[in-house]
Amino acid sequence: MDTSYPRDDHKRERAPGSPLPRDHLVWSIFNTLYMNICCLGFVALAFSVKARDRRVAGDVEAARRFSSKAKCYNTLATAGSVLLPLVLAALVVTGVLHLSKLAQESVGFFTYQLSPSDDEDQ
């Protein structure tokens, strides 16, 4: 008499030495609250919760897929939130430098003095 529970075909048992997939929940919460660029942090949070649910349910393969997606969206959210301000700061600095150069050239244009030879021609 077999008293074991029926196993679902889509659920795969993990190997005894393999670690459980990470759900990246803390990173997702951080990205959602502090660096939520284009709502990528919120999407990462949804995949992190799905990964945790699948891991608790024992579906390691689905947990691994959701964990991978959560990590990808977290990486994009973090990179976007770090790189975007750096690019904007670089644009502001180059814009200020360009405008200061233009201002110096225009001051030189408006302070043009006539040479003494120009006065004699008139």
Other C-beta atoms closer than 10 Å to the C-beta of 64 total 19
pLDDT in the model for residue 5: 44
Nearest to 73, CA basis, from 51, 52, 46 = 46
What is the pLDDT confidence band of residue 117, given thresholds at 50, 70 and 90?
low
Report DSSP letters for 73-118, one per residue. HHHHHHHHHHHHHHHHHHHHHHHHHHHHHHHHHHHHHHT----HHH
- The encoded tokens of residue 1 equal 């008499």
Cβ pair 65, 12 in contact under 8 A: no
Sign of CA dihedral 58, 59, 61, 66: negative
Range in 2-6, 43-47, 88-92, 101-105 with the lowest mean pLDDT: 2-6
pLDDT in the model for residue 6: 45
The 10s digit of each residue's pLDDT in 41-95 is 999 999 999 999 999 999 999 999 999 999 999 999 999 888 888 999 999 999 9
Query: How far are the Cα atoms of 77, 79, 90 from residue 82, in angstroms, in the given order?
Result: 9, 5, 13
The DSSP symbol for 37 reads G
pTM here? 0.64
- Answer with the residue of higher pLDDT: 27 or 13: 27
